[in-house]
Amino acid sequence: MRLLAPVVLATVVLAGCGRDPFIVKRSLCPAVSVAQYAGDVTRFDPPAQRDSGAVAITATITDLRGACVEGSPEIATRVTFDVVAQRRDSRTAETVTLPVFVAVARAGEIVVTKQVVPVTLAFAAGQPRAVGRGTASTAIQRNAVALPSDINKLVTRERKPGDIDAATDPLAEPKVRDAVRLASFEVLVGFQLTPDELAYNATK
């Protein structure tokens, strides 16, 4: 399955909380987000039908969080998320396990690592709703996140009010933008979907 996500350039941000808004800081931590078309899953019964009356279970990834430690020589991120599910038939107790992938993507499209986390949902008898919790850890080599020294100087150079290029975004330069893009990583989370499930999400 292809992971679809926007190119992440959010690692370069203006330090709005600092005293000087012209100082640019770059975080080494990857952004954490839900992969496009993979944030929810629908299971049908019978499986071949696609009408609303055949929906057996729906589930959505929510409350996604990432805790990052910029240690050396790796940038470690611990990811936590909830899976909230609804079922059609709630007469009896039921346990459902849904596979969720946690992938590290570089430059918005290159999958570096991927793991699948099973999330168990325990439906009590008479209850149509259940919540499961998933966790995973990822690591990125620090040297892969580091910018070349000349690019880093352009990005982090102090800009003072009155300078001709004080308000110029350093990412406006193609070589800076390309270097930051290549050194940008994102942790993508989503359900491990079948081709049919992915197609259903993309067209609904």
Question: Is omega for the bond preceding 73 within 30 degrees of 0, making it cis?
Answer: yes
pLDDT at 9 > cutoff 80: no
Report the pLDDT value the prediction gives residue 157, as an integer from 0 to 100: 66
∠ at Cα 103 (98, 104), nearest 5°?
165
Residue in 30, 24, 14 with CA at minimum distance from that of residue 69: 30
Residue in this structure with the two tokens 């001709």, named with its chain if needed: 164
- Taking residues 74-95, report their average pLDDT: 97
- Taking residues 170-178, report their average pLDDT: 74
**What share of the chain in percent tops pLDDT 90?**
57
Exposure string of 33-67, with b = 16+ CB inside 10 Å and e = fewer, is bbbebbbbbbbbeeeeeeeeeebebebebeebebe
Report the pLDDT value the prediction gives residue 40, as an integer from 0 to 100: 98
Residues in the chain: 204
pLDDT at 8 > cutoff 50: no
Report the pLDDT value the prediction gives residue 175, as an integer from 0 to 100: 75
Tell me: the pLDDT tens digits for 188-198?
999 999 999 99
Report the pLDDT value the prediction gives residue 166, as an integer from 0 to 100: 57
Mean of per-residue pLDDT scores for the chain: 84
| Overall pTM > 0.85 | no
CB atoms within 10 A of CB 184: 22
pLDDT at 14 > cutoff 60: no
pLDDT at 97 > cutoff 80: yes
Higher pLDDT, residue 116 or 20 = 116
| Structure tokens, 193 | 């979907």
CA distance 192 to 118: 10
Tell me: the pLDDT tens digits for 123-172?
999 999 999 999 999 999 998 988 877 777 776 666 666 566 656 666 66
Residue in this structure with the two tokens 């992969």, named with its chain if needed: 35
CA distance 130 to 90: 11
SS3 for 180?
helix
Cβ contact 127:89 at 8 Å: no
